[in-house]
Structure 1
Amino acid sequence: MQLLGEGGTEAYYNNAILLTGLTGLITMIPCLYFYKKDRRARIAGGLVTGQKPNRLSIGECGLILVMGAGFAQFANMFVNMIGSFLNAEEYQETMSQLTDGKSMFFLIVCMGIIAPLAEEIVFRWLIYLRLRDYMRSGEAIVISGLFFGIYHGNLVQGVYASILGCLFAYFLEQTGSLWTSVLLHMGANIWSLVLPELAAWLLDRYPMGIAVMLVLLLTGMCAGISYFRNRTDTEQRRII
Protein backbone atom coordinates (compact mmCIF):
# COMPACT_ATOMS: atom_id res chain seq x y z
CA MET A 1 0.00 0.00 0.00
CA GLN A 2 2.85 2.39 0.81
CA LEU A 3 4.43 1.75 -2.60
CA LEU A 4 1.31 3.10 -4.29
CA GLY A 5 2.14 6.60 -3.05
CA GLU A 6 -0.42 8.94 -1.48
CA GLY A 7 -3.34 6.69 -2.39
CA GLY A 8 -1.60 3.74 -0.81
CA THR A 9 -0.97 5.64 2.40
CA GLU A 10 -4.65 6.54 2.61
CA ALA A 11 -5.60 2.93 1.95
CA TYR A 12 -3.27 1.83 4.73
CA TYR A 13 -4.83 4.16 7.29
CA ASN A 14 -8.32 3.16 6.19
CA ASN A 15 -7.65 -0.58 6.52
CA ALA A 16 -4.95 -0.91 9.19
CA ILE A 17 -7.40 -1.74 12.01
CA LEU A 18 -9.17 -4.39 9.91
CA LEU A 19 -5.85 -5.90 8.84
CA THR A 20 -4.72 -5.98 12.46
CA GLY A 21 -7.82 -7.94 13.41
CA LEU A 22 -7.50 -10.39 10.52
CA THR A 23 -3.79 -11.05 11.05
CA GLY A 24 -4.48 -11.51 14.76
CA LEU A 25 -7.00 -14.26 14.01
CA ILE A 26 -4.61 -15.97 11.60
CA THR A 27 -1.67 -15.72 14.01
CA MET A 28 -3.54 -17.45 16.83
CA ILE A 29 -3.75 -20.78 14.99
CA PRO A 30 -0.03 -21.70 14.78
CA CYS A 31 0.76 -19.97 18.08
CA LEU A 32 -1.78 -22.06 20.00
CA TYR A 33 -0.20 -25.16 18.47
CA PHE A 34 3.26 -24.06 19.67
CA TYR A 35 1.92 -23.22 23.14
CA LYS A 36 0.37 -26.68 23.53
CA LYS A 37 3.61 -28.26 22.31
CA ASP A 38 5.59 -26.19 24.84
CA ARG A 39 3.24 -27.18 27.65
CA ARG A 40 3.58 -30.88 26.88
CA ALA A 41 7.37 -30.47 26.98
CA ARG A 42 7.22 -28.60 30.32
CA ILE A 43 5.08 -31.33 31.87
CA ALA A 44 7.38 -34.06 30.52
CA GLY A 45 10.43 -32.18 31.82
CA GLY A 46 8.93 -31.57 35.25
CA LEU A 47 8.97 -27.78 34.90
CA VAL A 48 5.24 -27.61 35.67
CA THR A 49 2.70 -30.03 37.02
CA GLY A 50 0.09 -31.63 34.81
CA GLN A 51 -2.62 -29.75 36.69
CA LYS A 52 -4.84 -27.57 34.52
CA PRO A 53 -4.30 -23.78 34.81
CA ASN A 54 -6.46 -22.06 37.41
CA ARG A 55 -9.98 -21.00 36.44
CA LEU A 56 -11.24 -17.51 37.13
CA SER A 57 -14.68 -16.76 38.54
CA ILE A 58 -16.93 -14.19 36.88
CA GLY A 59 -16.22 -11.75 39.70
CA GLU A 60 -12.47 -12.23 39.29
CA CYS A 61 -12.77 -11.65 35.54
CA GLY A 62 -14.59 -8.37 36.21
CA LEU A 63 -11.95 -7.30 38.74
CA ILE A 64 -9.17 -8.07 36.27
CA LEU A 65 -10.85 -5.97 33.57
CA VAL A 66 -11.03 -3.04 36.00
CA MET A 67 -7.37 -3.55 36.89
CA GLY A 68 -6.47 -3.48 33.20
CA ALA A 69 -8.36 -0.22 32.74
CA GLY A 70 -6.57 1.25 35.75
CA PHE A 71 -3.16 0.17 34.54
CA ALA A 72 -3.87 1.70 31.13
CA GLN A 73 -5.10 4.96 32.66
CA PHE A 74 -2.12 5.54 34.93
CA ALA A 75 0.43 4.28 32.39
CA ASN A 76 -1.05 6.76 29.89
CA MET A 77 -0.80 9.54 32.46
CA PHE A 78 2.87 8.68 33.02
CA VAL A 79 3.58 8.66 29.27
CA ASN A 80 1.80 12.01 28.90
CA MET A 81 3.98 13.45 31.68
CA ILE A 82 7.12 12.58 29.71
CA GLY A 83 5.43 13.11 26.34
CA SER A 84 7.70 16.01 25.33
CA PHE A 85 10.62 13.56 25.25
CA LEU A 86 8.69 10.92 23.30
CA ASN A 87 7.08 13.01 20.53
CA ALA A 88 3.62 11.98 21.73
CA GLU A 89 1.82 14.47 19.45
CA GLU A 90 2.97 12.65 16.31
CA TYR A 91 1.76 9.35 17.73
CA GLN A 92 -1.64 10.82 18.63
CA GLU A 93 -2.02 12.18 15.10
CA THR A 94 -1.23 8.75 13.66
CA MET A 95 -3.78 7.07 15.93
CA SER A 96 -6.41 9.62 14.92
CA GLN A 97 -5.81 8.78 11.26
CA LEU A 98 -6.20 5.08 12.01
CA THR A 99 -9.39 5.35 14.05
CA ASP A 100 -11.26 8.28 12.45
CA GLY A 101 -14.49 7.18 10.83
CA LYS A 102 -14.51 3.75 12.49
CA SER A 103 -17.42 2.70 14.70
CA MET A 104 -16.72 2.07 18.37
CA PHE A 105 -18.06 -1.48 18.01
CA PHE A 106 -15.60 -2.22 15.19
CA LEU A 107 -12.68 -0.75 17.16
CA ILE A 108 -13.55 -2.73 20.29
CA VAL A 109 -13.83 -6.02 18.35
CA CYS A 110 -10.53 -5.55 16.48
CA MET A 111 -8.41 -3.61 18.98
CA GLY A 112 -10.15 -4.44 22.24
CA ILE A 113 -10.74 -8.18 21.81
CA ILE A 114 -8.95 -9.82 18.87
CA ALA A 115 -5.64 -7.92 19.06
CA PRO A 116 -5.16 -8.40 22.84
CA LEU A 117 -5.92 -12.12 22.61
CA ALA A 118 -3.48 -12.64 19.72
CA GLU A 119 -0.76 -10.54 21.37
CA GLU A 120 -1.11 -12.33 24.70
CA ILE A 121 -0.81 -15.74 23.06
CA VAL A 122 2.44 -14.58 21.42
CA PHE A 123 4.05 -12.45 24.11
CA ARG A 124 2.91 -14.09 27.34
CA TRP A 125 1.82 -17.63 26.50
CA LEU A 126 4.80 -18.22 24.19
CA ILE A 127 7.62 -15.70 24.73
CA TYR A 128 7.26 -15.10 28.47
CA LEU A 129 6.69 -18.74 29.39
CA ARG A 130 9.58 -19.86 27.18
CA LEU A 131 11.89 -17.29 28.79
CA ARG A 132 10.75 -18.51 32.21
CA ASP A 133 11.88 -22.02 31.28
CA TYR A 134 15.47 -20.77 31.24
CA MET A 135 15.60 -17.99 33.83
CA ARG A 136 13.91 -16.61 36.92
CA SER A 137 10.40 -15.25 36.47
CA GLY A 138 11.43 -11.67 37.31
CA GLU A 139 14.00 -11.59 34.52
CA ALA A 140 11.55 -13.20 32.10
CA ILE A 141 8.89 -10.61 33.00
CA VAL A 142 11.20 -7.68 32.21
CA ILE A 143 12.63 -9.12 29.00
CA SER A 144 9.24 -10.15 27.62
CA GLY A 145 7.87 -6.70 28.55
CA LEU A 146 10.69 -5.03 26.60
CA PHE A 147 10.01 -7.28 23.61
CA PHE A 148 6.36 -6.25 23.78
CA GLY A 149 7.33 -2.57 23.80
CA ILE A 150 9.72 -2.92 20.86
CA TYR A 151 7.04 -4.75 18.88
CA HIS A 152 4.83 -1.64 18.94
CA GLY A 153 7.36 0.18 16.77
CA ASN A 154 7.43 3.69 18.25
CA LEU A 155 8.80 5.28 21.40
CA VAL A 156 5.48 6.40 22.89
CA GLN A 157 3.80 3.02 22.62
CA GLY A 158 7.09 1.32 23.40
CA VAL A 159 7.28 2.84 26.88
CA TYR A 160 3.57 2.32 27.52
CA ALA A 161 3.52 -1.27 26.25
CA SER A 162 6.69 -2.25 28.11
CA ILE A 163 5.14 -1.16 31.40
CA LEU A 164 1.89 -2.97 30.73
CA GLY A 165 3.65 -6.03 29.32
CA CYS A 166 5.54 -6.47 32.58
CA LEU A 167 2.31 -6.12 34.58
CA PHE A 168 0.46 -8.60 32.38
CA ALA A 169 3.19 -11.23 32.80
CA TYR A 170 3.45 -10.60 36.56
CA PHE A 171 -0.27 -11.18 37.18
CA LEU A 172 -0.36 -14.18 34.85
CA GLU A 173 2.31 -15.63 37.13
CA GLN A 174 0.48 -14.56 40.29
CA THR A 175 -2.88 -16.03 39.38
CA GLY A 176 -1.81 -19.20 37.57
CA SER A 177 -4.34 -18.44 34.82
CA LEU A 178 -3.50 -17.72 31.20
CA TRP A 179 -6.67 -15.67 30.87
CA THR A 180 -5.50 -13.14 33.44
CA SER A 181 -3.12 -11.44 31.02
CA VAL A 182 -5.71 -11.59 28.23
CA LEU A 183 -8.39 -9.88 30.35
CA LEU A 184 -5.93 -7.29 31.66
CA HIS A 185 -4.95 -6.49 28.07
CA MET A 186 -8.55 -6.32 26.91
CA GLY A 187 -9.47 -4.06 29.82
CA ALA A 188 -6.56 -1.76 29.01
CA ASN A 189 -7.32 -1.54 25.28
CA ILE A 190 -11.07 -1.11 25.65
CA TRP A 191 -10.56 1.58 28.28
CA SER A 192 -8.14 3.45 26.01
CA LEU A 193 -10.75 3.35 23.23
CA VAL A 194 -13.72 4.61 25.28
CA LEU A 195 -11.78 7.07 27.47
CA PRO A 196 -11.68 10.07 25.08
CA GLU A 197 -15.46 10.17 24.66
CA LEU A 198 -16.09 9.37 28.32
CA ALA A 199 -13.69 12.09 29.50
CA ALA A 200 -15.25 14.66 27.15
CA TRP A 201 -18.72 13.75 28.42
CA LEU A 202 -17.66 14.03 32.06
CA LEU A 203 -15.89 17.37 31.53
CA ASP A 204 -18.97 18.76 29.83
CA ARG A 205 -21.49 17.64 32.47
CA TYR A 206 -19.68 16.61 35.67
CA PRO A 207 -16.16 18.07 35.86
CA MET A 208 -15.55 16.41 39.22
CA GLY A 209 -16.42 13.10 37.58
CA ILE A 210 -12.86 12.82 36.26
CA ALA A 211 -11.48 12.82 39.80
CA VAL A 212 -14.10 10.29 40.91
CA MET A 213 -13.24 8.09 37.93
CA LEU A 214 -9.55 8.13 38.80
CA VAL A 215 -10.26 7.29 42.44
CA LEU A 216 -12.48 4.37 41.42
CA LEU A 217 -9.83 3.03 39.05
CA LEU A 218 -7.13 3.37 41.69
CA THR A 219 -9.35 1.60 44.23
CA GLY A 220 -10.06 -1.22 41.80
CA MET A 221 -6.36 -1.61 41.03
CA CYS A 222 -5.38 -1.73 44.71
CA ALA A 223 -8.20 -4.16 45.55
CA GLY A 224 -7.21 -6.45 42.68
CA ILE A 225 -3.52 -6.40 43.51
CA SER A 226 -4.25 -7.21 47.16
CA TYR A 227 -6.76 -9.92 46.28
CA PHE A 228 -4.57 -11.79 43.81
CA ARG A 229 -1.42 -11.53 45.91
CA ASN A 230 -3.27 -13.21 48.76
CA ARG A 231 -5.09 -15.73 46.56
CA THR A 232 -2.16 -17.70 45.20
CA ASP A 233 1.08 -19.20 46.44
CA THR A 234 4.31 -20.14 44.70
CA GLU A 235 3.34 -23.76 44.16
CA GLN A 236 0.06 -22.82 42.49
CA ARG A 237 1.79 -20.37 40.18
CA ARG A 238 3.88 -23.16 38.65
CA ILE A 239 0.97 -24.89 36.97
CA ILE A 240 1.37 -22.78 33.81
Structure 2
Amino acid sequence: MFKKIQKMKGQVLMIIIILHLILPLFTYTLATTFLYLAVPLEPLFATGLSAVLNIPVLLWVYFYDQKNRGYSLTESFKLTNSPVSICLLGAALCILGNSVVEVMGLTRISKAYQEAANALYSPPFALQLLASGFVIPAAEELIFRGMIFASLRDKFSFGLSAVISAGLFGLYHGNLPQGVYAFLIGLAAAWLYERTKALSAAFMLHIPANLLSLFITNTKLSGLLFQRGHAAVTVAVVAAAVVVTVFCIVRIYWKNNLKEDIV
Protein backbone atom coordinates (compact mmCIF):
# COMPACT_ATOMS: atom_id res chain seq x y z
CA MET A 1 0.00 0.00 0.00
CA PHE A 2 2.81 2.37 0.94
CA LYS A 3 4.64 1.68 -2.32
CA LYS A 4 1.45 2.29 -4.26
CA ILE A 5 0.94 5.67 -2.56
CA GLN A 6 4.55 6.63 -3.23
CA LYS A 7 4.14 5.66 -6.88
CA MET A 8 0.98 7.76 -7.15
CA LYS A 9 2.77 10.72 -5.58
CA GLY A 10 5.59 10.33 -8.08
CA GLN A 11 3.12 10.25 -10.97
CA VAL A 12 1.33 13.35 -9.69
CA LEU A 13 4.67 15.16 -9.36
CA MET A 14 5.62 14.23 -12.93
CA ILE A 15 2.27 15.53 -14.21
CA ILE A 16 2.85 18.80 -12.33
CA ILE A 17 6.33 19.09 -13.85
CA ILE A 18 5.01 18.46 -17.36
CA LEU A 19 2.29 21.07 -16.89
CA HIS A 20 4.89 23.56 -15.68
CA LEU A 21 6.94 22.85 -18.79
CA ILE A 22 4.05 23.33 -21.21
CA LEU A 23 1.41 25.72 -19.84
CA PRO A 24 3.52 28.85 -19.13
CA LEU A 25 5.19 28.77 -22.53
CA PHE A 26 1.91 27.99 -24.26
CA THR A 27 -0.07 30.84 -22.69
CA TYR A 28 2.77 33.35 -23.10
CA THR A 29 3.35 32.40 -26.74
CA LEU A 30 -0.38 32.28 -27.48
CA ALA A 31 -0.91 35.78 -26.08
CA THR A 32 2.09 37.11 -28.02
CA THR A 33 0.91 35.51 -31.26
CA PHE A 34 -2.62 36.86 -30.83
CA LEU A 35 -1.37 40.41 -30.19
CA TYR A 36 0.98 40.18 -33.17
CA LEU A 37 -1.45 38.68 -35.69
CA ALA A 38 -4.93 39.70 -34.59
CA VAL A 39 -4.47 43.24 -33.27
CA PRO A 40 -1.86 43.57 -34.96
CA LEU A 41 1.14 44.96 -33.06
CA GLU A 42 4.84 45.13 -33.83
CA PRO A 43 6.66 41.94 -32.63
CA LEU A 44 8.56 43.59 -29.77
CA PHE A 45 5.52 45.53 -28.57
CA ALA A 46 3.37 42.39 -28.78
CA THR A 47 5.91 40.36 -26.77
CA GLY A 48 6.28 43.09 -24.16
CA LEU A 49 2.52 43.53 -23.76
CA SER A 50 2.09 39.76 -23.55
CA ALA A 51 4.68 39.72 -20.76
CA VAL A 52 2.79 42.45 -18.87
CA LEU A 53 -0.47 40.53 -19.18
CA ASN A 54 1.08 37.20 -18.17
CA ILE A 55 3.27 38.35 -15.26
CA PRO A 56 0.42 38.57 -12.67
CA VAL A 57 -0.70 35.01 -13.47
CA LEU A 58 2.88 33.72 -13.49
CA LEU A 59 3.53 35.38 -10.14
CA TRP A 60 0.45 33.80 -8.63
CA VAL A 61 1.42 30.32 -9.81
CA TYR A 62 5.02 30.81 -8.70
CA PHE A 63 4.00 32.01 -5.25
CA TYR A 64 1.62 29.06 -4.93
CA ASP A 65 4.42 26.64 -5.84
CA GLN A 66 6.86 28.28 -3.45
CA LYS A 67 4.36 28.10 -0.62
CA ASN A 68 3.98 24.35 -1.24
CA ARG A 69 7.78 24.04 -1.16
CA GLY A 70 7.90 25.76 2.21
CA TYR A 71 9.37 29.07 1.06
CA SER A 72 7.92 32.44 1.97
CA LEU A 73 7.24 35.10 -0.64
CA THR A 74 9.90 37.39 0.82
CA GLU A 75 12.55 34.69 0.34
CA SER A 76 11.86 34.51 -3.39
CA PHE A 77 12.42 38.22 -3.96
CA LYS A 78 14.86 39.07 -1.20
CA LEU A 79 17.86 41.28 -1.91
CA THR A 80 20.73 38.86 -2.33
CA ASN A 81 24.09 39.15 -0.59
CA SER A 82 25.95 40.17 -3.73
CA PRO A 83 23.76 42.26 -6.08
CA VAL A 84 26.71 44.14 -7.61
CA SER A 85 28.54 40.91 -8.39
CA ILE A 86 25.42 39.44 -9.98
CA CYS A 87 24.89 42.50 -12.18
CA LEU A 88 28.55 42.47 -13.22
CA LEU A 89 28.28 38.76 -13.97
CA GLY A 90 25.32 39.42 -16.24
CA ALA A 91 27.27 42.09 -18.13
CA ALA A 92 30.36 39.87 -18.45
CA LEU A 93 28.29 36.93 -19.69
CA CYS A 94 26.70 39.21 -22.26
CA ILE A 95 30.17 39.92 -23.67
CA LEU A 96 31.21 36.27 -23.55
CA GLY A 97 27.96 34.99 -25.03
CA ASN A 98 28.08 37.43 -27.93
CA SER A 99 31.75 36.57 -28.47
CA VAL A 100 30.95 32.86 -28.72
CA VAL A 101 28.16 33.55 -31.20
CA GLU A 102 30.42 35.76 -33.35
CA VAL A 103 33.38 33.37 -33.27
CA MET A 104 31.12 30.56 -34.44
CA GLY A 105 29.76 32.80 -37.19
CA LEU A 106 26.18 32.03 -36.25
CA THR A 107 24.73 35.47 -36.98
CA ARG A 108 25.93 35.31 -40.58
CA ILE A 109 24.34 31.96 -41.38
CA SER A 110 21.01 32.39 -39.59
CA LYS A 111 18.26 34.06 -41.62
CA ALA A 112 15.89 33.67 -38.67
CA TYR A 113 18.29 35.70 -36.53
CA GLN A 114 18.34 38.56 -39.04
CA GLU A 115 14.54 38.70 -38.95
CA ALA A 116 14.53 38.59 -35.14
CA ALA A 117 17.19 41.30 -34.93
CA ASN A 118 15.13 43.59 -37.15
CA ALA A 119 12.12 43.07 -34.90
CA LEU A 120 14.14 43.66 -31.72
CA TYR A 121 16.28 46.63 -32.72
CA SER A 122 14.13 48.60 -35.16
CA PRO A 123 11.57 49.97 -32.63
CA PRO A 124 12.34 53.18 -30.67
CA PHE A 125 15.14 52.74 -28.14
CA ALA A 126 12.83 53.59 -25.24
CA LEU A 127 10.56 50.67 -26.18
CA GLN A 128 13.58 48.38 -26.51
CA LEU A 129 14.74 49.35 -23.02
CA LEU A 130 11.33 48.86 -21.42
CA ALA A 131 10.38 45.65 -23.23
CA SER A 132 13.67 43.81 -23.84
CA GLY A 133 15.47 45.36 -20.88
CA PHE A 134 12.95 44.85 -18.09
CA VAL A 135 9.48 43.46 -18.83
CA ILE A 136 10.33 40.49 -21.04
CA PRO A 137 13.24 39.30 -18.80
CA ALA A 138 10.87 39.38 -15.80
CA ALA A 139 8.35 37.14 -17.57
CA GLU A 140 11.08 34.83 -18.88
CA GLU A 141 12.65 34.37 -15.45
CA LEU A 142 9.28 33.55 -13.92
CA ILE A 143 8.69 30.94 -16.63
CA PHE A 144 12.11 29.38 -17.17
CA ARG A 145 13.65 29.59 -13.69
CA GLY A 146 10.70 30.19 -11.36
CA MET A 147 8.46 27.54 -12.85
CA ILE A 148 10.34 25.23 -15.23
CA PHE A 149 13.71 24.96 -13.47
CA ALA A 150 12.20 24.96 -9.97
CA SER A 151 9.69 22.24 -10.88
CA LEU A 152 12.38 20.09 -12.49
CA ARG A 153 14.60 20.63 -9.46
CA ASP A 154 11.88 19.21 -7.21
CA LYS A 155 12.49 15.84 -8.87
CA PHE A 156 15.92 15.86 -10.53
CA SER A 157 19.53 16.91 -9.94
CA PHE A 158 20.69 20.48 -10.41
CA GLY A 159 22.71 19.67 -13.53
CA LEU A 160 19.86 17.98 -15.39
CA SER A 161 17.33 20.62 -14.32
CA ALA A 162 19.63 23.46 -15.37
CA VAL A 163 20.43 21.95 -18.77
CA ILE A 164 16.80 21.18 -19.61
CA SER A 165 15.50 24.60 -18.52
CA ALA A 166 18.35 26.42 -20.27
CA GLY A 167 17.83 24.29 -23.38
CA LEU A 168 14.14 25.18 -23.48
CA PHE A 169 15.08 28.81 -22.94
CA GLY A 170 17.40 28.63 -25.93
CA LEU A 171 14.87 26.84 -28.15
CA TYR A 172 12.21 29.39 -27.22
CA HIS A 173 14.22 32.14 -28.92
CA GLY A 174 13.71 30.46 -32.28
CA ASN A 175 17.10 30.91 -33.89
CA LEU A 176 20.58 29.51 -33.39
CA PRO A 177 22.56 32.66 -32.39
CA GLN A 178 20.05 33.79 -29.77
CA GLY A 179 19.51 30.18 -28.74
CA VAL A 180 23.20 29.62 -27.93
CA TYR A 181 23.39 32.94 -26.08
CA ALA A 182 20.18 32.26 -24.14
CA PHE A 183 21.40 28.77 -23.21
CA LEU A 184 24.53 30.23 -21.56
CA ILE A 185 22.51 32.88 -19.73
CA GLY A 186 19.99 30.23 -18.70
CA LEU A 187 22.66 28.03 -17.14
CA ALA A 188 24.04 30.96 -15.15
CA ALA A 189 20.57 32.06 -14.03
CA ALA A 190 19.73 28.52 -12.87
CA TRP A 191 23.01 28.37 -10.91
CA LEU A 192 22.22 31.68 -9.23
CA TYR A 193 18.72 30.57 -8.36
CA GLU A 194 20.11 27.36 -6.89
CA ARG A 195 22.68 29.24 -4.84
CA THR A 196 20.52 32.05 -3.53
CA LYS A 197 17.05 30.44 -3.55
CA ALA A 198 15.86 33.85 -4.75
CA LEU A 199 14.35 34.52 -8.16
CA SER A 200 15.47 38.13 -7.75
CA ALA A 201 19.05 36.94 -8.35
CA ALA A 202 18.08 35.59 -11.78
CA PHE A 203 16.41 38.94 -12.55
CA MET A 204 19.61 40.78 -11.54
CA LEU A 205 21.61 38.65 -13.96
CA HIS A 206 19.22 38.74 -16.91
CA ILE A 207 18.36 42.44 -16.94
CA PRO A 208 21.95 43.84 -17.08
CA ALA A 209 22.82 41.28 -19.75
CA ASN A 210 19.93 42.45 -21.93
CA LEU A 211 20.56 46.14 -21.26
CA LEU A 212 24.23 45.86 -22.20
CA SER A 213 23.33 43.92 -25.33
CA LEU A 214 20.90 46.67 -26.34
CA PHE A 215 23.51 49.35 -25.66
CA ILE A 216 26.18 47.57 -27.70
CA THR A 217 23.85 47.01 -30.65
CA ASN A 218 22.31 50.49 -30.72
CA THR A 219 25.63 52.30 -30.37
CA LYS A 220 27.27 50.11 -33.04
CA LEU A 221 29.89 48.94 -30.53
CA SER A 222 29.43 45.44 -31.87
CA GLY A 223 31.40 46.52 -34.94
CA LEU A 224 34.30 47.44 -32.68
CA LEU A 225 34.09 44.56 -30.23
CA PHE A 226 33.28 41.55 -32.38
CA GLN A 227 34.85 42.14 -35.80
CA ARG A 228 38.04 40.50 -37.06
CA GLY A 229 39.54 43.87 -37.96
CA HIS A 230 39.69 44.76 -34.26
CA ALA A 231 41.16 41.52 -32.94
CA ALA A 232 43.27 43.20 -30.25
CA VAL A 233 40.28 45.05 -28.81
CA THR A 234 38.17 41.88 -28.94
CA VAL A 235 40.80 39.81 -27.13
CA ALA A 236 41.24 42.46 -24.43
CA VAL A 237 37.50 42.82 -23.83
CA VAL A 238 36.89 39.05 -23.78
CA ALA A 239 39.83 38.52 -21.41
CA ALA A 240 38.43 41.18 -19.07
CA ALA A 241 35.00 39.54 -19.26
CA VAL A 242 36.51 36.16 -18.33
CA VAL A 243 38.28 37.68 -15.32
CA VAL A 244 35.10 39.45 -14.18
CA THR A 245 33.05 36.26 -14.66
CA VAL A 246 35.41 34.13 -12.57
CA PHE A 247 35.70 36.78 -9.86
CA CYS A 248 31.92 37.24 -9.61
CA ILE A 249 31.19 33.50 -9.54
CA VAL A 250 33.69 32.93 -6.73
CA ARG A 251 32.39 35.92 -4.80
CA ILE A 252 28.74 34.90 -5.18
CA TYR A 253 29.57 31.34 -4.20
CA TRP A 254 31.23 32.32 -0.94
CA LYS A 255 28.91 35.20 -0.10
CA ASN A 256 25.99 32.79 -0.04
CA ASN A 257 27.80 30.51 2.42
CA LEU A 258 27.53 27.33 0.38
CA LYS A 259 30.73 25.37 0.84
CA GLU A 260 29.81 22.19 -0.97
CA ASP A 261 29.64 21.63 -4.68
CA ILE A 262 26.21 21.15 -6.21
CA VAL A 263 25.53 17.56 -7.09
- Short-chain TM bin: 0.7 to 0.9
Q: Matched residue of 1:34: which SS?
A: helix
For residue 118 of structure 1, the aligned residue among 139, 159, 162 is 139
The Cα shift of 1:160 comes to: 1.9
- CA shift in 2, pair 1:118/1:235, >3 Å: farther
Q: Residues 64-103 of structure 1 correspond to what in structure 2 (within 5 A)?
A: 64-83=86-105, 88-103=109-124
Q: Matched residue of 1:221: which SS?
A: helix
- CA shift in 2, pair 1:123/1:101, >3 Å: closer
Q: Matched residue of 2:45: which SS?
A: helix
Identity over the aligned pairs, expressed in percent?
A: 25
- CA shift in 2, pair 1:103/1:136, >3 Å: same
The Cα shift of 1:142 comes to: 0.9
- CA shift in 2, pair 1:49/1:113, >3 Å: closer
Counterpart position of 2:241: 217
Are the counterparts in 2 of residues 117 and 182 from structure 1 also a CA contact under 8 Å?
A: yes
The Cα shift of 1:68 comes to: 0.8
Counterpart position of 1:5: none
- Report the residue type matching 1:230 in the other structure: W
User: 1:29-54: per-residue Cα shift (whole Å, max 9, x none)?
Assistant: 111111111111111xxxx6898345
Q: Which runs of 5+ in 2 are unaligned?
A: 1-35
Are the counterparts in 2 of residues 91 and 156 from structure 1 also a CA contact under 8 Å?
A: no
Q: Residues 1-240 of structure 1 correspond to what in structure 2 (within 5 A)?
A: 15-43=42-70, 52-53=75-76, 54-56=78-80, 60-83=82-105, 88-196=109-217, 197=219, 199=221, 213-234=237-258
- Report the residue type matching 2:46 in the other structure: L
- Report the residue type matching 1:189 in the other structure: N
- CA shift in 2, pair 1:175/1:120, >3 Å: same
The Cα shift of 1:134 comes to: 0.8
The Cα shift of 1:210 comes to: 5.5
The Cα shift of 1:200 comes to: 6.2
- Give the Cα separation in 2 of the matches to 1:50 and 1:108: 28
- Give the Cα separation in 2 of the matches to 1:219 and 1:39: 35
- Report the residue type matching 1:40 in the other structure: K
Are the counterparts in 1 of residues 128 and 214 from structure 2 also a CA contact under 8 Å?
A: yes
- CA shift in 2, pair 1:151/1:95, >3 Å: closer
- Report the residue type matching 2:138 in the other structure: L
The Cα shift of 1:18 comes to: 0.8
- Give the Cα separation in 2 of the matches to 1:149 and 1:30: 23
- Give the Cα separation in 2 of the matches to 1:132 and 1:187: 26
Are the counterparts in 1 of residues 121 and 128 from structure 2 also a CA contact under 8 Å?
A: no
The Cα shift of 1:124 comes to: 0.3
The Cα shift of 1:118 comes to: 0.6
The Cα shift of 1:112 comes to: 0.8
Are the counterparts in 1 of residues 93 and 185 from structure 2 also a CA contact under 8 Å?
A: yes
- Give the Cα separation in 2 of the matches to 1:51 and 1:104: 33
Q: Which runs of 5+ in 1 are unaligned?
A: 1-7
- CA shift in 2, pair 1:28/1:51, >3 Å: closer
Which shows bigger deviation, 209-218 or 34-43?
Answer: 209-218
- Give the Cα separation in 1 of the matches to 2:57 and 2:73: 22
